[in-house]
Structure 1
């Protein structure tokens, strides 16, 4: 009588999820970046309460004052407190980034999942249309949309959302092509389960990892895109402040008031870097290959 070789017990999904969270919690860089983003969200929500002065309170005799105990970030050419404007501008910059990426996420994932699941002529038509949008440089396409529809917050959201939609569509389609051939998807189709139910119940949960990582990275680039459009005068319009608009206003005073560009530029840099680092950390725990390498490194 031969003894059967022992078989390692399968790891339950809950256990895998717990292990992934432990790996994420054990990454100090990702945790620090997540804390920075959490503080940024708090500032966006409580900006008017945290600002020591009104966002458009003009005090001409105090114009272009360097950082001091009274004005920590100095004042601009109209005597407005730069710290107050940076804090309140956080809401506008984050709002545009989140709204535009949410639009790109919903539309792009829907197009990508349908194209990857259906295949055939549906895939060809949707992806060729997607390739047309993808062929345009991101900023150039956004500039064209804003130039046609006019500057403003809603137009900026729409423009950034449109230019990032093809990226989500490609990520979703590529992941769907790998999942749709899995046995559980084929079994559901054989049993006559509706296509909508299969895509919602089986496809979407299994492609969530790449979509989450792409969302984090797209938020970082959306903030840069908003800042670029506002810097060119086509994004958020005065008197509402934004980080990009503050850089535009500061360009005439670079030689005499360095603080006008340093502080909004630092806000953009720190926020974008935090989103990118969180995206890297999520990729490490959501990608099976990366997670296996990370777990092996931790064990060693």
Structure 2
């Protein structure tokens, strides 16, 4: 026996994709992220210059037809470096958040479903991790393991694991008392089957929204670590490191800081706005309000 996430008047409800398409902000955010995904997949083939091609005579050139976003202090093409840096940031964000989702959801679902001492132990560990500021905890992990891409991914993944554990546990606590779960238990259904067929499908909404928001903050965390010299290491370009390198040239070459910073701003904003739009569709209360406004 499988129960849907929301059985209330499903026949007359507006499909979720229509609600998403009816929100222009969400559509624009999705299009921006689609472009970012294309860049992340094909940056190596899209760049007009090598990211480490040094051309000192053409250093600090302003944006032009030859160099769309100008050049840096070594004559390297800023446009090419920004594209490759976006690719690196997205790779770090996606892998680290995927790690956080797998570990955090596993901990949260098991703790919420089993309860008892297991729930107490898991949640106290999560509370201890929550006591540390996000960036400080990431810095501590990187300081222990050393800077680099792998360490950055692990640090960000560890930092965001408690968030997914909390979200999944809270949702599981409400789902496990539903009648269809009780019926499955009385029929002798195994715990793994109940978790995969009843619990996980019914807590997926909050997790999807949290994933979108976490991707935004993972981009910021990677940029912060790289800015401090603890993230992606040179000569591989990263948005945070590009902003750090531009500090001494802000008055001479504003484009060195503005364009990497704009890339971070646009990607983070797009993820946040997409998360807000998905929350409106996946949250039953928000969705009911939207559908009521559409009928007026």
Which residue among 173, 178, 200 is the counterpart of 2:174?
Answer: 178
Q: 5 Å matches for 1:289-300?
A: 289-300=285-296
Q: Secondary structure at the match of 1:207?
A: helix
Equivalent residue, structure 2, for 1:120: 116
The 2-side partners of 1:162 and 1:263 are apart by 30
Match of 1:11 in 2: 9
Q: Show the counterpart of 1:4.
A: none
Select which of 61, 78, 84 maps to 1:65: 61
Whether 2:201 is the aligned partner of 1:220: answer: no
The aligned counterpart of 2:200 is 204
Aligned to 1:6: none
- Greater CA radius of gyration, 1 or 2? 1
CA distance in 2, matches of 1:125, 1:223: 31
Is 1:29 matched with 2:25? yes
Gaps of 5+ in 2: 1-6
Shift in alpha-carbon separation, 1:181–1:90, aligned structure 2, 3 A? same
Cα deviation, 1:160-186, whole Å, max 9, x if unaligned, reads 000000000000000001000000001
In 1, Cα distance between equivalents of 2:123 and 2:209: 22
How does the TM-score come out when normalised to structure 2?
A: 0.96
1:82 matches 2:78: yes
Match of 1:254 among 232, 247, 250: 250
Q: Normalised by the size of structure 1, how large is the TM-score?
A: 0.95
CA displacement at 1:11 relative to structure 2: 3.3
2:45 corresponds in structure 1 to 49
Partner secondary structure for residue 144 of structure 1: helix
**2:230 maps to which residue?**
234
Offset, 1:224: 0.1
Quote the Cα distance in structure 2 between the aligned partners of 1:156 and 1:213. 23
Q: 1:196: Cα distance to partner?
A: 1.2
Distance in 2 separating the partners of 1:190 and 1:57: 68
Q: How does 1:77-116 map to 2 (within 5 A)?
A: 77-116=73-112
The CA deviation at 1:48 is: 1.6
Paired residues, number: 290
Cα deviation for residue 139 of structure 1 reads 0.1
Deviates more, 1:128-137 or 1:271-280: 128-137
Evaluate the alpha carbon distance shift between residue 84 and residue 34 of structure 1 in structure 2; reply closer, same or farther with a 3 A threshold. same
Cα distance in 2 for partners of 1:114, 1:251 equals 47
The alignment status of 1:285 with 2:265, answered yes or no, reads: no
- Superposition CA RMSD, Å: 1.2
Mapped to 2, the partners of 1:78 and 1:102 lie a distance apart of 36
- 1:12 is displaced (CA, Å) by 4.1
2:34 is aligned with 1:38: yes
2:3 paired residue number: none
